Amino acid sequence: MIDKRTRIKIAIQKSGRLTAHSLELLEQCGLKYTRDRDQLIGYGENMPVDLLFVRDDDIPGLVRDDVCDLGIAGLNIVEEKRLEFLADGIEQPYTQVYALDFGHCRLSFGYPEDGPVQAIEQLPGKRIATSYPWIVRDYLASRDLQADVVEFSGAVEIAPSLGRSDVICDLVSTGTTMKANRIREGETILESECVLIKTPVDIPPEKLDWVDRLLQRIEGVMQVRESKYIMMHAPKDALADIAALLPGAESPTVLPLEGVDDKVAVHVVCRENIFWETLEALKAVGASSVLVVPIEKMLA
């Protein structure tokens, strides 16, 4: 039995598109764990953290019910369940803490190429197959459109050819699935990525310190993904130009160069990715010996 009072429980997808990235994120936060025999629970060895491996659809409910303190799931699922809970009068089933920058996809309408609907204005009176009935109904209501929403739990793209719908609304990443079924992607109603959600209940004091530490580490991991440490030699009078060229840069460290009066060494952390164009622009204002180094860990 897991001690709920002192150990943090995190719900993650058992096996699917989000599993590897979710585990990688937690491992980057320093978590080491062992999985039980039936692989349903991961016991943290070096932190008071346990992982619950479940279907992604169950993650919002486990967090809402405070069975888990935190959960990692796609915004598509988190938002779908939020609207469903809202219909039951539950206003804040969880708080969304971070967007995690993986699992990117979009929820879009799909119009069969030879079907009767080719734009949202033609939706009234038609049937829409989707696994996201609450999001679709919410979208239709916001546009004052009346259409029938037919719930499908999977293989939504075959609903039109089965004669079950005129249109679909489904997740898209590359667009290959819709194309293969001769469906044209239409309007996107939700841009999704994986998010971290937190229980609506106050975290007990016994766990608060570790929850805060974990959230801070996740923030650190997110920041270093894009961040770079940049070193260069630069003319003293080009420092303002250089600062303007570096995206998301913090105050640079400026160091003297032995035996050189008009140049300095500049070290700076950039919070965004650095492209070749930026390096070329730095060179154009006089920078030389520019090094861009990845950052492994960062604690704000």
Query: Binding residue for ligand PRT (CB under 6 A) from 34, 46, 176, 251?
Result: 176
Window 104-143: contact mask with ligand PRT (x via CB under 6 A): -x--------------------------------------
Q: Reduced to 3 states, what is the DSSP secondary structure of residue 90?
A: coil
Which position among 16, 116, 124, 204 is part of the footprint of ligand PRT (CB under 6 A)? 16
In this structure, what token pair is assigned to residue 251? Answer: 């105050």
Q: Which of 4, 7, 30, 57 binds ligand PRT (CB under 6 A)?
A: 57
Where do we find the tokens 């035996």? 259
**Cβ distance to ligand PRT smaller for residue 155 or 243:** 155
Which of 57, 101 has the CB closer to Zn ion? Answer: 57
CB of 106 to Zn ion, least distance (A): 17
Contact 267/253 with Cβ under 8 angstroms?
A: yes
Which of 174, 261, 294, 300 binds ligand PRT (CB under 6 A)? It is 174
| Owner of token pair 């009346």 | 146
Select from 13-21, 26-34, 135-143, 283-291 the region that touches ligand PRT (CB under 6 A).
13-21
Least separation in angstroms between residue 238's CB and ligand PRT is 44
Which one of residues 41, 149, 171, 285 is an interface residue with ligand PRT (CB under 6 A)? 171
Interaction between residue 191 and ligand PRT (CB under 6 A): no
- The structure tokens listed for 187 are 């309007």
Count other Cβ atoms within 10 Å, centred on residue 216: 13
- Part of the chain binding ligand PRT (CB under 6 A), chosen from 52-60, 239-247, 258-266, 287-295: 52-60
- Burial class for 218, CB neighbours closer than 10 Å (0-12, 13-18, 19+): buried
* Residue 16 beta carbon to Zn ion: minimum distance, rounded to whole angstroms: 7
Given the rule CB under 5 A, which residues bind Zn ion? 56-57
CA distances from 201 to 68, 147, 180, 231 (A): 10, 37, 45, 45
- Residue 166 or 170 with smaller CB distance to Zn ion: 170
Three-point CA angle 242, 257, 265, nearest 5°: 25
CA pair distance 150, 152, nearest whole angstrom: 7
User: Interface mask (CB under 6 A) for ligand PRT, residues 197-236, using x and -?
Assistant: ----------------------------------------
Pick 19 or 28: Cβ nearer ligand PRT: 19
> Min. distance of Cβ 221 from Zn ion in angstroms?
25
CA distance 93 to 73: 14
How far, in Å, CA of 222 to CA of 101, rounded?
8
Please tell me the distance from the alpha carbon of residue 101 to that of residue 57, in angstroms, as a whole number: 19
Residue 196: CB minimum distance to ligand PRT, A: 13
Residue 16: CB atoms within 10 Å: 13
Residue 131 or 278: which CB sits closer to Zn ion? 131
Cα first-last separation, the chain: 35
Cα gap 11→296, rounded to integer Å: 26
Considering CB distances under 5 to 8 angstroms, the limit depending on partner class, which of Zn ion, ligand PRT, none binds residue 172? ligand PRT
